[in-house]
Structure 1
């Protein structure tokens, strides 16, 4: 429970940081003088929620009773469902079938690359620890 709370706080703070950083970039580089309050609030809360579920969902990988394919499947389903429901609801992704398929394909590619990088990193760390033993 302590790990869940710590990761929740980290995710919420990171999501808020990303929301503010993006807003500053839009104002500074986009030359926008005014922001619509409702849109800012909606996008900021969406970013905070994304930060939360992306930081909490890796806890699946700490459940030792689950095998890696099950952990990965649960993590992917959780992250994909939360992200697509949120992004379609907020308007980050336009609600059209070709666009949703394109974003889903990009999501799969990015998820696979990130998963592979983490897998290779932890495999290397395990090999190093075994060599030290």
Structure 2
């Protein structure tokens, strides 16, 4: 389990670094300036989020709990972690309106993402069932 967490954390750091590189490329080509301190802070936040997303996906790998329960736990943890990191780094201002807007956007994106994966796996299930029925 620890080895798997380290692998996923490393992949998360890599994804965080790639996202940072993409943002830095956009900044460079638009001639925007940023201090080393700002870049360091945002890259660190991206890498922390990468580690988080790499490790939190383990919640879905364990058997036992119902998918809905795992999804609710994942939703609550992800919302909290993203809210804290985004607030600390300054990705949005700390006002009631901003937090409400962030929350609505997060909920919408989470539902779209979860729904997309649900439909994908339902399609996989149907394909597998057809294959099994055909080869009975």
Aligned residues: 131
1:61-114 superposed Cα distances (whole Å, 9 cap, x missing partner): 112101011100111011111100000011011111101100110000000000
Instruction: List, as ranges, runs of 4+ consecutive aligned residues in structure 1 with deviation greater than 6 Å.
Output: none
Q: 1:56 Cα deviation (Å)?
A: 2.2
Equivalent residue number for residue 89 of structure 1: 88
Distance in 1, matches of 2:130 and 2:77, equals: 35
What residue number does 2:22 align with? 21
Q: Give unmatched runs, 5+ long, in structure 1.
A: none
Q: Under a length normalisation based on structure 2, what TM-score does the superposition of the two structures give?
A: 0.90
Larger Rg computed on CA atoms? 2
Q: Are 1:132 and 2:119 counterparts?
A: no
Gaps in structure 2 of 5+ consecutive residues = none
**SS of the counterpart of 1:93?**
coil
In 2, the alpha carbon distance for the partners of 1:120 and 1:89 equals 35
1:127 deviation in Å? 1.9
- Show the counterpart of 1:103: 102
CA distance, structure 2, for counterparts of residue 59 and residue 129 of structure 1: 24
Offset of 1:128 from its aligned partner? 1.5
Alignment-derived partner of residue 10 in structure 1: 11
Q: CA deviation at 1:35?
A: 2.6
TM-score by length of 1: 0.92
For residues 99 and 35 of structure 1, the distance between their equivalents in structure 2, rounded to whole angstroms, comes to: 24
